[in-house]
Structures are given as C-alpha cells and as structure tokens.
Amino acid sequence: MRIKVVYVILLSLTMVYACSTTKEQKKKYEAKLSNIISDSSRVELVSFKGEDTSLLIMDYQYFRFDTVTGKAALPYQDSVNEIIVKFITDITYFDAIEVDLEFSPSFFDDALEEFSGMYHDATDTDGGLMWFFESSTVIKDERKDFCQVFNFNWNYTGGAHGNGFMEYHQVDKKTGKLLSLDDFISDIPELTAIADVIFREGNELTFDSDLQKEGYWFDDGLFKLNENFLFEDGKLVFVYNAYEIAPYSAGSITIEVPLKKISHLLKTKLSYKEN
C-alpha cells in the first residue's frame, strides 16, 4: 500500500514538474522570439563658445538579430528593424548607412554623433543657437497577428521654433508586410464618416462647418483620414502632426475612435498574444 502511495506521489510530482518544465520552455521560447532590446544613447552638445550645453537624447528598441546572418528570429522582426533604421536615418541625416549594416547600439550612437557633428559644421563659424534633439522608438508586440512600432522625434536646429512628429506603423507577423488602414477596416468611407463626427465634436464644430474656413487644411474642406494610426486602449487613434492639417500653433491633433463603435468594420479581431 505504501509503495502504491509513494508511486502515486512520485507520478504526480513528475507530471507537475513536466508541466512546469513545459511552461518554462514555452516562456523561454516566446522570450527568444520576442527579444526586444531596449537601450539609449546620449551626447552632450557644447556650443561654439562653450557657454551653453544641451543633452541629445535617443531612447530606442529593436529586435535582437543574429550577428552571422544579420537576421532577427522572424521576418516581421526584420521589417520592424528596417522601419527603425529608416526612422533614425531620416532624423539624424545619417546618409552613409548600408543595407547590411550591423544593427546594434553602435548604430544609434553613431547616428547621434552624426547629428552632433552637423551642429558643429553649421554653427562653429558663427556661434549659432543651441540645437536640441530627443527621439524614441517603441515596439508594441502584444498583438497576435501584427506588431506596432511607435516613433517620436523633436528637435530644434534654428529658426522660430522646434519641430516634432510622431509616426506609427503596423507590421503583419506572418508576412512581414507593412499594413495600411484598409488591411484592418472593411469600409473606409464609413470609418471616415464616424471619425469626422468625433473630430467635429472634439473641436466644437457643426456637421456642416467648412473645415477650410475653420482653419483646417483639408482639401475642399472635407475631412479625411490619414495613415498615421495606432491601436491602443480599446481605440483606433489617428495622429495628425503639426502642419499636416493645421498651423503649427495647433500642435499635433489626435482623433480617438472607440473600437466598440467600429467593431462591424474590423477585418480582424485584434487579438492579444496568449500568455
């Protein structure tokens, strides 16, 4: 009897251990597939006369890649890394980049140093105004079918004011393809009509107000959605950057469409990954 009891206990413990081991292996596997690297670069900028300083800041994320193949674990992760490389290249004027450049923290450091060098090239002769720079890239990989990339930059390189913008991207996890609004929405005109009402209500405009006469830069005074959107907190959010549909003084303009209002228009369930 005792042997049977011991056997049952051992069998139970074995099953629990096996189950626990399977869960741990699954977690390790998922962590390996995710492999989001987070880091930051900082460069102190000193003015021509040494009287002023500013701290150039770049916070970033990217998917870990194989140093031999240059590839991440999955195709969509390569696509995300390419989006981030292009973003950093665009905002730092880092034109000497190669397609197969090793994607590592040194890339970000070099890009920020390049921006710093441009400041000295532009201002060392005349002691110009101080430059400022701040950027961030964030990977949101919690969805089952697609991954989101959030990019932000603000800089001042002279003139009346600084400039900033936010950009958002969605990447298909199966194909690595960059997704557009019609990949998620079945009827863009209907979504536009719903967002138009939300936009007007948020800005105290009547339904028949001519948007151009109200100071917005929509063609023919008609509301139009852009492709700069994200899914967050149960909403489909559209972001219009400064100068996109209104003067600089208006800043960035966001329109938040509750997903409950457009559930009948969604082509996908927007499911989250299983834990």
Residues 173 and 186 in one domain: no
Residues 91 and 42 in one domain: yes
**What pLDDT, on the 0 to 100 scale, is given for residue 22?**
60
Residues 167 and 240 in one domain: no
Helix (H), strand (E), coil (C) string for the chain? CHHHHHHHHHHHHHHHHHHHHHHHHHHHHHHHHHCEEEEEEEEEEECCCCCCEEEEEEEEEEECECCCCCCECCHHHHHHHHHHHHHHHHHHCCCCCCCCCCCCHHHHHHHHHHHHHHHHHHHCCCCCCCCEEEEEEEEECCECCEEEEEEEEEEECCCCCCEEEEEEEEEECCCCCECCHHHCECCHHHHHHHHHHHHHHHCCCCCCCCCCCCCCCCHHHCCCCCCCEEEECCEEEEEECCCCCCCHHHCCEEEEEEHHHHHHHECCCCCECCC
Residues 104 and 208 in one domain: no
**What pLDDT, on the 0 to 100 scale, is given for residue 235?**
98
Is 43 among the domain residues? yes
Is 273 among the domain residues? no
Domain final residue pick, 148, 179, 210? 179
Domain final residue pick, 144, 179, 214? 179
Residues 234 and 156 in one domain: no
Is 9 among the domain residues? no
Residues 192 and 165 in one domain: no
Is 70 among the domain residues? yes
HSE (side-chain half, CA atoms, 13 Å) at 140: 15
In which domain, by residue range, is 134 found?
A: 33-179
Domain count across the chain: 2
Residues 45 and 119 in one domain: yes
Is 10 among the domain residues? no
Is 23 among the domain residues? no
Residues 85 and 214 in one domain: no
**What pLDDT, on the 0 to 100 scale, is given for residue 31?**
46
Domain final residue pick, 150, 179, 208? 179
Per-residue pLDDT of the chain (275 residues; tens, 9 = 90+): 444 433 433 344 344 444 445 655 554 444 454 589 999 999 998 887 777 889 999 999 999 988 777 789 999 999 999 999 999 989 987 555 444 455 666 889 989 998 998 888 777 655 567 899 999 999 999 999 999 999 999 999 888 899 999 999 999 999 999 999 999 999 999 999 999 999 999 999 999 999 999 999 999 889 999 999 999 999 999 999 999 999 999 999 999 999 999 999 999 999 998 86
Output the domain CATH number for residue 208.
3.90.640.20
Burial classification of residue 136, based on how many CB atoms lie within 10 Å of its CB (0-12 exposed, 13-18 middle, 19 or more buried): middle
Q: Please give the model's pTM, rounded to 2 decimal places.
A: 0.83
Taking the C-alpha atoms of residue 142 and residue 149, their distance in angstroms, rounded to an integer, is: 11
Is 109 among the domain residues? yes
**What pLDDT, on the 0 to 100 scale, is given for residue 76?**
97
Is 156 among the domain residues? yes
